Structure 1
Amino acid sequence: MSVIEKSAVAAPAQDDGLLRAASSPLLGGALALVAIAQQLIGHIDCDVSWFLTFAEKVLDGRTAYVEVSDPNPPAAFLSLMPAVLLARALHLRAEAVVVALVFFAAVASIGLSFHLLRLSAARSLREWMPLGNAAIFLLLVAPEIVFAEREHIALLALLPLLATLAAEEGARPSPCFARIAAGVCGGVAVTLKPHFALAVILPALAIAWRARSLRALWRVELVSAALASIALTGATLLAFPAYLSQALPLALEVYGPARDDLGHFLTHSLALAYLALMAGFLVAARGALGRAPLVALAASLGFFVAFLLQGKGWMNHAYPAMILLLFAWIFFALREAAPATGAKSALMKFLFLPALLAAPAYFGIVEQLTDREEHEGLLAAVAEVAPPHPRIATIASQLDFGHPLTRRLDGEWVGRQNALWTTALVGRLLETARPPRREALEARRSADLAALAQDIRAGRPDVVVAEDRATREWVLKRPETAAALDGYRLAKRAGDVEIWRRAE
């Protein structure tokens, strides 16, 4: 019996009620229904809302990274372009179409991954069901408000490639076309963020180390992934050259270096939870890893390094690393017919199982199930003072003041950026910057503020949402934006947030 066969789907030696329940197709169906219900109850996150707006503006003729811009590469909004096109063709809301397409993508990803794994370990469908139900739970239920984020889409795209890498050498080979398709999907994942290449590189190196040969890297799926990522990235950059000339320099100069303080990062992100789960896994495994858990573990580490490199601490950045680490635990837990004993049993019962069941809590289950607003009362306050389908701009450091607010009101976003994120991040970077660097940063901040003032003058929004009084007063004291709210009056407040209405 191959290692992948043991590590992925070994049948239990005794009648285990928990495993029988985990193997039930009814559980998989119930989990799928829960996932659908969650998305019907809640709403998509501000990032997804913004990239939908970005895609719509590009389709409407705006020049990407000039008239509408973002520090992320073109694949970020292009990944949602099919949903926008389909929504317009069917006269549906783009949000609903995004969710539906991601569900279809998840089904395709899980299906192809399982097909590739089962070819290398032929066992009954029932013996595969615990892993299948876990995949439905982790990929459709657990994402919560991270659903349809780039990290979620990237993980779904990458899974078939990881499945091909997890197949044991000497097992029945997968069809070449399936391996090429898996590689291309992996290449698509890398185009979303270059950091995601680590989630391909580390598992590839892990299997080469396991084989004690670099020839193990010469696999059709890895070559396909490399070629696809290069071709797709090159094509998108040729199609949107302003990214290289406008957005990328700003991202490298401001967005990238503005990392969270280490202490705050560790205490306000999933980093410590991840490290605890990783430490427990290494203690339980004691170096005895089958190929499947090794690949999942290495890919998880790749995403975790990407999480650290980005340095923002956001839950969507942590999602792929946490999910793949849980998959590594699942492969390991199903590895042997004999029940676990001693420290291994304790770690599985008191670390892995609670971590697995709590996965939805990591990614905003409360916010999703309560349909909680990004800023409580803001939606109703803006709706009360704004005309139907309002044109909206913000004076705010974070994009969640304008998105998805604008879309939920069926309004129109005014502004080339999603927020004054450049201004906010420059303020943090100036605290430690030296004189030459300070001048460059000040120029970036001045340009950001000037762009906001120009957007408000040209776009004439019906409503301007100010993050709070202090932010609004600071912005209006700057020469670039001193007259930004001329002709506007304070119409309402929602907590600290101010809503300014254009005078008739």
Structure 2
Amino acid sequence: MVVTILVSAMVVQIPLVLNADLGWLLTVNEMILAGQKLGADLFESNPPLSVYMYMPAAWLGRSTGVAPELVVIFLVIVEIVVALVVIESANVAAKLEVGERSVFLRSFAFLLALLPGAVFGQREHIAVIALTPFVAVAALRWRGLCPGRAAVVAGLGAGLAMSIKPFFALVVGLPIIANVVRQRSLRPLLIPEAVSAAIVVSGYAVVVATVFAEYLSVYAPMVAEAYLPIRKEFGSLLPLPIAMIGGSIVFLRLLAPRQFRVAGDATPWLAASVGGAASFLLQGKNWPYMAFGLSVFAIAAPLLQVRTNTLRKSVAIGGAASMVLIAAYLSSPPPDFPPLAERIQALVKHPRLLTITDHIGLGHPLVRELHGVWVGRSCAELLAGGAIWREQDPQLSDDARARLDNIASFEKRQLLTSLRIGRPDVVLVDTYLFSTIPFDWLSWAKSDPEIRAELGRFHEVKGVGRVRIFVSESQPPGA
């Protein structure tokens, strides 16, 4: 059954896996392989590991001729297999019965391979896969069982997850804190998996501080100033975590009343789901993929208690319906752009492409679908968008406004460099700010005289929806 689930996931993902984030991260790694340098020629708002974790797929794709997005599918399935092996090893060491171990394997094969849908292959998906063995080991220790040497490997995975996104420290920490409170002792802080996780995170911090010092000193402060504060209202974020954790508790109460207690075996899984909820709330963007950790652990708490011989039909139907709804939510599309590929191909074959927008989804994965060349120095003017958004606040201090102006100027310098050095054939210009309010990105760009001069060599053709299309004068005019 596990093999069937994994093979099915591979087949399902072939037409689905290439999304905006993955398209950009594969493209930027290909540009690095071609000789460009992250932090000098290329800029990414996330920490360096978010980029380089896709380097194996880009390198293997370049070496073998296989599309890198297909390599991503294969490598993620391999990671899931490794996670299942670690969980099985810990369960064997803990002397769990075969039936219970089988429930674990089938459950997590489904949760990690099929549930993600359109989230498959994204950073959160990869991080949660790496993190799951750690929570499984925490659940064994909660029951007073020994997970054996697999605990160290589980800790390495947790360290990787926290390095990908520091918010996952909440998922790692809450099950441990629950055990500290239960035992009234600090010894759970020194278990092997916690130590190995700390070593990985510390090692990664040293690498970033030494190898990517420019990111910490130059780019990270701009991200903190212009991007991180852009968030949804807290009240609009709360319903999802409340519904998921509340639903998890309800199903747990129906399936296994004894595990509903604070001391029940499901407590570590519930603690991990609360950590996932806290991560979702702190990030504040309300993007579905950011709720993947919350979803997996909220489902796991009751799912691991399922026993088919005692499962009531009504509970089974309700549980299945709930998981379908969660899967549909995770795969719900973001605010989208109109179809552009055919329109652009009719104007320029395999174009050198650039966008002027705050939205990654305008240029990616479009440039890969066109078999074109991305000439931008970042995925979009994301920091400029954040600066423009924040400067609408009338209570903003003069110092903060000055910093935001400098960030917008930085983005304009990068755009100018992309126009001069990249020599795009096609420039796509958005007409919305964060897909929410109308905004004239063309006027914003042309407020810089040098950018205005560079854009003077383009003519506008008929746009599509919210997107204005500009083609280089060296290309024939479009209809």
Tell me the residue number matched to 1:247: 219
Q: 1:262 aligns with which of 207, 229, 234?
A: 234
Q: CA deviation at 1:360?
A: 1.9
Tell me the residue number matched to 1:304: 277
Tell me the residue number matched to 2:447: 478
Q: 1:434 aligns with which of 376, 397, 410?
A: 397
Query: Structure 1 regions of 5+ residues with no counterpart?
Result: 1-24
Tell me the residue number matched to 1:502: 472
Kept in 2: contact 1:462–1:502 (CA 8 A): yes
Kept in 2: contact 1:430–1:441 (CA 8 A): yes
The answer to whether structure 1 residue 94 and structure 2 residue 53 are counterparts is: no
Q: Secondary structure at the match of 1:461?
A: coil
Kept in 1: contact 2:273–2:294 (CA 8 A): yes
Kept in 2: contact 1:303–1:318 (CA 8 A): yes
Letter paired with 2:380: A
Tell me the residue number matched to 1:135: 108
Q: 2:59 aligns with which of 76, 85, 100?
A: 85
Letter paired with 2:42: V
Tell me the residue number matched to 1:375: 337
Q: What is the TM-score normalised by the length of structure 1?
A: 0.84
Kept in 2: contact 1:329–1:352 (CA 8 A): no
Tell me the residue number matched to 1:4: none
Kept in 1: contact 2:237–2:281 (CA 8 A): no
Kept in 2: contact 1:65–1:246 (CA 8 A): no
Q: 1:457 aligns with which of 410, 413, 420?
A: 420
Tell me the residue number matched to 1:324: 297
Q: CA deviation at 1:102?
A: 0.5
Tell me the residue number matched to 1:359: 326
Q: 1:384 to 1:63 in 2, by over 3 A?
A: same
Written as runs of structure 1 = structure 2, the 5 A alignment for 1:203-214 is 203-214=175-186
Q: CA deviation at 1:276?
A: 4.1
Q: Using the alignment, how far apart are the partners of 1:264 and 1:209 within structure 2?
A: 32
Q: Using the alignment, how far apart are the partners of 2:366 and 2:195 within structure 1?
A: 43
Q: Secondary structure at the match of 2:266?
A: helix
Q: 1:193 to 1:170 in 2, by over 3 A?
A: closer
Aligned length: 462
Written as runs of structure 1 = structure 2, the 5 A alignment for 1:144-293 is 144-168=117-141, 173-176=146-149, 178-265=150-237, 270-271=240-241, 273-274=243-244, 276-277=246-247, 280=250, 287-289=260-262, 292-293=265-266
Q: Secondary structure at the match of 1:41?
A: coil
Name which structure has the greater RCO, CA cutoff 8 Å, separation 6+.
1
Q: 1:118 to 1:274 in 2, by over 3 A?
A: same
Q: 1:299 to 1:455 in 2, by over 3 A?
A: same
Kept in 2: contact 1:117–1:166 (CA 8 A): no
Letter paired with 2:344: V
Q: Secondary structure at the match of 1:392?
A: strand
Percentage identity across aligned positions? 28
Q: 1:436 to 1:131 in 2, by over 3 A?
A: same
Q: CA deviation at 1:147?
A: 0.8
Q: Using the alignment, how far apart are the partners of 1:482 and 1:166 within structure 2?
A: 60
Q: 1:384 aligns with which of 342, 346, 352?
A: 346
Q: Using the alignment, how far apart are the partners of 2:144 and 2:425 within structure 1?
A: 64
Q: 1:46 aligns with which of 8, 15, 20?
A: 20
Q: CA deviation at 1:259?
A: 1.4
Kept in 1: contact 2:176–2:189 (CA 8 A): yes
Q: Using the alignment, how far apart are the partners of 1:263 and 1:174 within structure 2?
A: 40
Q: CA deviation at 1:292?
A: 4.4
The answer to whether structure 1 residue 410 and structure 2 residue 371 are counterparts is: yes
Q: Secondary structure at the match of 2:46?
A: coil
Tell me the residue number matched to 2:435: none
Q: Using the alignment, how far apart are the partners of 1:214 and 1:436 within structure 2?
A: 44
Q: What is the TM-score normalised by the length of structure 2?
A: 0.88
Q: CA deviation at 1:442?
A: 1.6
Q: Using the alignment, how far apart are the partners of 1:484 and 1:264 within structure 2?
A: 42
Tell me the residue number matched to 1:490: 460
The answer to whether structure 1 residue 104 and structure 2 residue 78 are counterparts is: yes
Q: Using the alignment, how far apart are the partners of 2:423 and 2:13 within structure 1?
A: 34
Q: 1:121 to 1:330 in 2, by over 3 A?
A: farther
Tell me the residue number matched to 1:66: 40
Q: Secondary structure at the match of 1:165?
A: helix
Q: Secondary structure at the match of 1:47?
A: helix
1:427-449 per-position Cα deviation (integer Å, ceiling 9, x unaligned): 22112222221121122112212
Q: Using the alignment, how far apart are the partners of 1:218 and 1:149 within structure 2?
A: 31
Q: Secondary structure at the match of 2:460?
A: strand
Tell me the residue number matched to 1:10: none
1:106-160 per-position Cα deviation (integer Å, ceiling 9, x unaligned): 1111221122123324312x55434332222221111111111111011111112
Tell me the residue number matched to 1:466: 429
Tell me the residue number matched to 1:7: none
